[in-house]
Amino acid sequence: MYVEHPVFVRPTDENIRIWRYMSFTKLVSLLESRCLFFSRADKLGDPFEGSWPRINISARFEIPDNIPNEGQARFLGAMKNLSGILGQMPRHIALSCWHMNEYESAAMWKLYIESNEGVAVQSTFRRLRESLIDDEQIHLGVVNYIDYQTEGIDARNLMTPFMYKRKSYEHEREVRALIMKIPVNERGADLSAEGITNGLSIRVDMSILVERIFVAPYCPAWFEELVRSVIAKYSYAFDVVHSILDQQPLF
């Protein structure tokens, strides 16, 4: 279920389109399971996932005035240990990532589809939010892109760094749904414990989630018909739209 949280910023227009580009096999899995796969954060391919900017890390090691000289070494040791603990956070975060754009993205087709036999599930921010029917608490918001060398972020919540990425990824225009599952023992939260294995399958209301399904540019006619037949097999009536990116210019 969706849970509002101040760390997660919603777009100004919640009806803005969002896209998830995927292979045909992943589409079939989505239709059959009625579940979105949330990948563990450290499995997404960016080593900076969940990391803190340089300014935030430097601030940790600024010794407060109220710590006496004899306690400063202990304080610095604790901060060094904290950095190691926070490095475990990605194992306890699962993410579903979407591209926010009113139009198809040629770049996203190329990045996420290895051949012309792929699809893009098109939804909206509002539809994604309302489709989350799983019992897990799920937060949803727009990713911020910053310079990790010169800019800092609010350090008061452990989920905050998962809603920031380096400016090199700004082309992704990402919307993220996030689940945090931190193990607890008799002493409290235990980030050193085993985390999420690879990801989580989260139940969604497919009739709400999916607005249209686009088939890849230059896909053969048989593939588009296959997509239509598979959708019908699972008793859905989603519009299937051929990508406009292979249209020819009129001159």
- Quick: pLDDT tens for 159-197: 999 999 999 999 999 999 999 998 878 776 777 778 899
Q: What percent of the chain has pLDDT over 90?
A: 76
Which backbone phi and psi does 121 adopt, to 5 degrees? -85, 120
pLDDT at 90 over 90: yes
pTM of the model: 0.90
- Report pLDDT for 2: 95
Q: Stretch 116-121: mean pLDDT, rounded?
A: 93
**Which carries the bigger pLDDT value, residue 114 or residue 221?**
221
**For the chain, which residues make up each domain, given as ranges?**
17-51+87-246
pLDDT class of 27 with cuts at 50, 70, 90: very high
pLDDT digits (tens, 9 = 90+) for 123-170: 999 999 999 999 999 999 999 999 999 999 998 899 999 999 999 999
- Number of Cβ within 10 Å of residue 58's Cβ equals 11
In this predicted structure, what is the pLDDT of residue 194? Answer: 81
The 10 Å CB-count burial string (b at 16+, else e) for 72-99 is eeebeeeeeeeeeebebbbbbbbbbbbb
* Rounded CA separation 34/114 (Å): 24
